[in-house]
Amino acid sequence: MSDIIRIEHLCKSFGAVKAVQNLSFRVKEGELFAFLGVNGAGKSTTINILCGQLQKDSGTVEIDGMDLDHDTVRIKRELGVVFQNSVLDGALTVRDNLQSRAALYGIVGVVFKKRLERLSNLLDFEDVINRPVSKLSGGQRRRIDIARALIHHPRILVLDEPTTGLDPQSRRLLWDVVTKLREREGLTVFLTTHYMEEATDADYVIILDNGSIAGEGTPLSLKNTYAGDYVTLYGIDEKSVGALGLPYVPIRDGWRIEVATTSEATKLILEHPALFEDYEITKGKMDDVFLAVTGKKLNGGEGK
Amino acid sequence: MTGFFSLTKRNCKLFFRDKGMFFTSLITPAILLVLYVTFLAKVYKESFTSALPAAFALDDSLINGTVGGQLVSSLLAVCCVTVSFCSNLLMVQDKVSGARRDLTMSPVSKSTLALSYFTASALSTMLICFVALGVCLVYLAIVGWYMTVKDVLLLCVDVFILVLFGTALSSIVNCNLSTNGQASAVGTIVSAGYGFVCGAYMPISNFGDGLQKVLSFLPGTYGTALFRNHALRGVYAEMLSIGFPVEIVEGIKDSIDCNLYFLGEKVGIGSMYAVMILSLVVLVGGYVLLNTIKRND
């Protein structure tokens, strides 16, 4: 896979505040790329620079082989953005909203009609097409937001904390849609989120802290590097668990032991086969990774 | 150009579909109508008839035509400016709602966006003001018609110029606002204050000398005077034809702001147009300059 986004030594300051410091990373075409960080970590600043909304102080940003400094207009055609809050016009109908936005990219007449038909099928909003956006439910509105972001066939879909404030059902719906889009249209998805479990499904994750990269890798490599494994034992008494000589915590049906690596867990099982009749090994969570990397907890609530 | 037309259409649609914004824009003309119905018409009539020498007995139609002309000119003068201010508040609403961020994500330039706000506001205001002009002309036809086709056409020109003036002024003010609170404050100040400042609620000649001098520096005053002159020209012609002395007609013109004086010098109609057009050019230039500065920030 080739790189669709290349950022090298990106810096941006607001007065004395260094919002983004020497940030370098690459996003591969077609992947789900997650950007994690607490508020003020520099996520929005980076996205605003990517989308040409904010001038950078230094560094280079290349999108689909085009330099942001020289090809801003062409780059804008490659990006579709879903904001945290719906930014469509509540008083206008879904059709009016999408029509006015499509025209900004020169998509009018029959071409628009065809695109609207395709998107309404894909995102299942044919029945609300003539309804004002303000009358739609949160989940329906999110689908229209995605349709707006995709109206001009972008190659990169930027999701800026898209599920914040959504109920679990709408959150699930959004992810189903995004998964479908990635499968059918080969979209690259650039995600910023507070929800750790959403990052678990990403192909690559960057954890931002104070404007610079605190950790990066695939979810698996991050978990292996920054979080231990958990062995959960069922059907034995506390005395037997204590005999293992490792710290443990009681859970409803058994005991949870934290081990540094999966191989250490395997070693433990092999050394005490009698105790391991009913057990499971689980990887650490992304929350553990984030805490280990930044020393901070993300207050994103439950995952999707 | 597709982007510009689409944005302009969107902005116009939003103004007319947003009932809050639409009806708020009509508050000042509505206040003026209420004032007129409740007591202004009576005050105008009484002050007009009492100022006339006892020897002159006037037809009711002429008196009503004079008072109606005052109302019409006042109404149009405030309508052109306050409606444009309210319709142009969309540029603030878009900042607050985040729609502006969405629009600027597209390949459309910020100058196109700024021009679309201006054009949409001017078109929406013009539509409302020309409808208002139509209603006003019907009203004048009922109470006392003394206008010629030329007067009507000149009133149309006045509406056109004052709408552009109001749009340019509101564009400069509104493009510096970014919160609902600021927008609401400006809307309230303009709605409440402009009628007084331009002499629509009360003729400027009724104010003290100092205030008259200050108001003579404001271009909006000349806009109201243009409306007054064209709405009442026929009435004055009728007065002269039935034997009113020129001095008395000039006195009436002075009292209801058809004649305006700048530092003691009478301002002619041509000069009033020059003031309005020059102000319009300066304001549009200012708007372009502000957008250029903001784009470079």
At A299 the pLDDT is 56
Give the integer Cα–Cα distance in Å for B80 and B155.
12
CATH topology of domain A228-283: Alpha-Beta Plaits (3.30.70)
A3-222, superfamily in CATH?
P-loop containing nucleotide triphosphate hydrolases (3.40.50.300)
Which chain A residues touch B106 with a CB distance below 8 Å? 76, 101, 104-105, 152
Minimum Cα–Cα distance from B10: chain A residue: A100
| Whole-complex ipTM | 0.81
CB contacts < 8 Å between A and B, how many?
67
Of A77, A90, A92, the CB nearest to B107: A77
pLDDT tens digits, one per residue of A35-54: 988 888 888 899 989 988 88
Minimum Cα–Cα distance from B93: chain A residue: A89
pLDDT tens digits, one per residue of A174-190: 888 888 888 887 889 99
pLDDT tens digits, one per residue of B236-274: 999 889 888 888 888 888 888 888 888 888 899 999 999
Contact B98 A87 (CB under 8 A): yes
Q: Chain A within 8 Å of B296 (Cβ-Cβ)?
A: no
Q: Chain A within 8 Å of B96 (Cβ-Cβ)?
A: no
Give the integer Cα–Cα distance in Å for A258 and A248.
7
- The domain locations on chain A are 3-222, 228-283
Of A76, A88, A92, the CB nearest to B105: A76
Contact A103 B103 (CB under 8 A): no
Q: Chain B within 8 Å of A88 (Cβ-Cβ)?
A: yes
Q: Where are the alpha helices (DSSP H) in B89-148?
A: 90-97, 99-104, 110-143
Q: How is residue A20 written in tokens?
A: 């983004």
At A296 the pLDDT is 67
Contact A76 B13 (CB under 8 A): no
Q: Is the predicted pLDDT of residue A304 greater than 50, yes or no?
A: no
Contact B107 A76 (CB under 8 A): yes
Q: pLDDT grade, residue B46 (50/70/90)?
A: confident
**Phi, then psi, of A176 in degrees rounded to 5:** -60, -45
Give the integer Cα–Cα distance in Å for A157 and A174.
13
Cβ atoms within 10 A of the Cβ of B88, count?
A: 31
